[in-house]
Chain A
Amino acid sequence: MQKNEELIPHLFRTEYSKITIVLAKLFGFENIEVAEDIVSDTFMIAAETWGQKGVPANPVAWLYTVAKNKARDHLKHNKLFTDKITPAIKNNSTETYEVEIDLSEKNINDSQLQMMFAICHPAMPAEAQIGLSLRILCGFGIVEIADAFLSNKETINKRLLRAKEKIRSEHIKIEFPGSNEVSKRLDNVITTLYLLFNEGYYSLSKNISLRKDLCLEAMRLTLMLAENELTNHPAVNALLALMCFHASRFEVRTGRDGESVLYEEQDTSLWDNSLITRGEYYLNKASTGNKISKYHLEAAIAYWHTTKTDPPEKWQSILQLYNNLLLLEYSPIAALNRTYALAKADGKEKAIIEAEKLNLEGNYLYHCLLGYLYTGVDAQSALKNFKAALKLAKAQTDMAKIEQYIQELNGSL
C-alpha cells in the first residue's frame, strides 16, 4: 500500500479531472466551479479521513462515492439547482428522484471526449483552448500551467476566467457534435492536441518532467480519440504516430544542462524503440481515406528521422515530404527544415541558393541554417551568419552552442 502523501497527489492527478468533468456535464458548463469545489472538498475529506483511519481498500471507489454524495447533497440543498437543474435531470431519469451520477469508465471517457469538443469549439481562441485543456482535461494546477507557458499565476488565472466566460457566453454545450459535424469540429480538437504536445516538446521551460507530462497528456487525449469509433479518423492516427515518433527521442534531445542536443549528435541507442514501433502502427492505421493531412506528412517526416542509417532515399523522401507540407501550409520552420533536407539530399551549393531567397532575416534559426550551409563552403559567410544568429538568439543554451560554432570557425580560418 502506498503512503498517503504519495497516493493522494497521484489520485488527484488521475481522478480530479475525471470526476469534475462528469459533474460539470451534469450541472452544465456554466456551473463548472461548483463541480470543481465539490471535487476539491472530496480530496480534502480524503486527506483528513485517510490520515486518521488509514487508506480504504479501494481509494478510487471511495472518492467516487463521496463525490457522488456531495453532488447529490448540493443538488438537494441549493435552491438555484433545485429550480433550474433538477427538473431537467428529473425529466431524463425515469421515476426515481435520486439523481444518477454515472462514474462508470464509459461515461467518464465519453464525458472527457465531449468536454474536449466543448473546449475546442471554433469560437474559442487557440490560447484559451490550450489553457482550458490543461486545467480541465489534464487537471494541471495554475502554477504548472504558468510554468509551462513561462508566465505567472495572475495572467493564467485571468486567461482561464476569460476562457470560461467565453464558453458561457457562447452557450457551448458539453456534448458530441452531430455525426456530420464531427469531422469539421474534430480538425479543431486535433489542432489543439497538436499545439498541446508542441507546448511540452518545444517549451523553453526548464521543468523537464512538467514538459514530459504535457506531452504524455496530449498523447493520452489523442489516444482516447483514436479508441472511440466516432473520432477514430486517419488524421487522429497520423497525429498519434507523430507524437510517438517525437516522444521516442524525448530523453535524448536534451543534454544534462538542459541544452538541446542536435539530431545529428544524438545517441541513437537511447531512442525509445517501443514508441517507434507504436508510431509505425498508428501511421499504418492512418493510411486510409483519400485526404493527406499535415499530420500525415509530419508523421512521415518524423518516421524517417527514426531510421538510424542514412540510405540515399532518406533525405530525398524527407525533402519531398517538406515540399508537400509547404504546398499545404507555409510556415517558416517548414521552410527552414525543407532547405536543410535539400542540402542533405542535393548538396549545400543548391541549398544555399534556395536559402538566400527565404527572406527570414530576424529569425535566429535562419542564420544558424545559413551558417551551417556555408560551413565548409565559405567560412567568412558562415561566420557572418553565426554572429547574426548570436545577436538574435534568446535562450542561454542556444547562445552557448552558437558561440562554439564561431570558435570552431575562427580556429579553422
Chain B
Amino acid sequence: MNEFSLIFRNEQNPDAQFSPEQMQNILKQWRDWMGGIAAQNKLANPGNRLGIEGAVVRKGNVVTDGPYAEIKEMISGFIIVQTETLEEAIELAKGCPVFNAGGSVEVRSIIPISM
C-alpha cells in the first residue's frame, strides 16, 4: 500500500460570511467525503485544516505576514490516503468538496522515510 497526500487549495476570503446553515452544509460535505474514504479503509491520516492566520519566514529572518495578497490560491488543508496506485488516489480526490469553492486538489506521493 502506498500513501498519497491530497492537498487542498482555494481562494481564501477572510471577509466571507456564511449563515449557520451554509456552514453546517459545508461541514457535512467534508465529513461525508472523508467518512466515505475512511469507509473504504483508504484514509491513512485525517490531516489538518489550515487557518488564514499565518506568516512566511524567509532566509535572513525575513517575515512576511498573511493574508498573502500575492497568492491567489492558498493551501487550506490536507489529508493522507492509502491506495495502491496514484490513479486510485486521484479517483478519491474527484469527490472533494473543495471544488464547490472553486478550489483544486493536488495529489502527491509520499516518500516513506526509513528510520
Residues of A at under 8 Å CB distance from B? 316, 319-320, 322-324, 326-327, 330, 334-335, 338-339, 342, 346, 354, 357-359
Between-chain CB contacts (< 8 Å), 13 pairs: A316-B28, A319-B35, A324-B31, A326-B39, A327-B35, A327-B38, A335-B40, A335-B41, A338-B35, A342-B32, A346-B32, A354-B39, A359-B41
Whether the pair B31, A354 counts as a contact (CB closer than 8 A) is no
Q: In the complex, what distance in Å separates the CA atom of A324 from the CA atom of B39?
A: 10
Q: Which DSSP category, helix, strand, loop or mixed, fits chain B's interface?
A: helix
On whether the beta carbons of A327 and B41 are closer than 8 Å, the reply is no
* A327 to B38 Cα, complex, angstroms: 6
In the complex, chain A residues whose CB is within 8 Å of the CB of B38: 323, 326-327, 330, 335
Using C-beta atoms within 8 Å of the partner chain, give the interface range for chain B: 10 to 19
- Give 14 A-B pairs besides A320-B28, A327-B35 with Cβ atoms closer than 8 angstroms: A316-B28, A319-B32, A320-B31, A322-B35, A323-B38, A324-B31, A324-B35, A326-B39, A326-B43, A335-B40, A339-B39, A342-B32, A357-B36, A358-B39
Q: Do B41 and A330 touch across chains, with their CB atoms under 8 A apart?
A: yes
Query: A327–B80 Cα gap in the complex (Å)?
Result: 12
B43 near A327: Cβ-Cβ < 8 Å: yes
Q: Which residues of B contact A (CB under 8 A)?
A: 28, 31-32, 34-36, 38-41, 43, 46
Chain A, Cβ-Cβ closest to B46: A327
- From residue A320, how far is it (CB to closest CB) to chain B in Å? 6
Residues B40 and A323 in contact, CB atoms below 8 Å apart: no
A354 to B38, CA, bound (A): 11
Cα(A176)–Cα(B90), bound, Å = 50
Given that A330-B41, A335-B41 are known contacts, is A354 also in contact with B36, CB under 8 Å in the complex? yes
Contact A323 B41 (CB under 8 A): no
| Residues of chain B contacted by A338 (CB below 8 angstroms) | 35, 39
Contact in complex: A359, B40 (CB < 8 Å): yes
State how many angstroms separate the Cβ of B68 from the closest Cβ of chain A.
30
Of the listed residues B34, B39, B40, B46, the one surrounded by the most CB atoms of chain A closer than 10 A to its CB is B39
The 7 closest A-B CB pairs, nearest first, are A323-B35, A326-B38, A335-B39, A330-B41, A323-B31, A327-B46, A338-B39
Which residues on A sit within 8 Å (CB–CB) of B35? Answer: 319-320, 322-324, 326-327, 338
Contact B46 A323, beta carbon cutoff 8 Å: no
How many Å lie between the Cα of A327 and that of B43 in the bound state? 7
A358 in contact with B31 (CB, 8 Å)? no
Residues in chain B near residue A319, CB distance under 8 A: 32, 35
Please name all residues of chain A whose beta carbon is closer than 8 Å to the beta carbon of B31 when the two chains form the complex.
320, 323-324
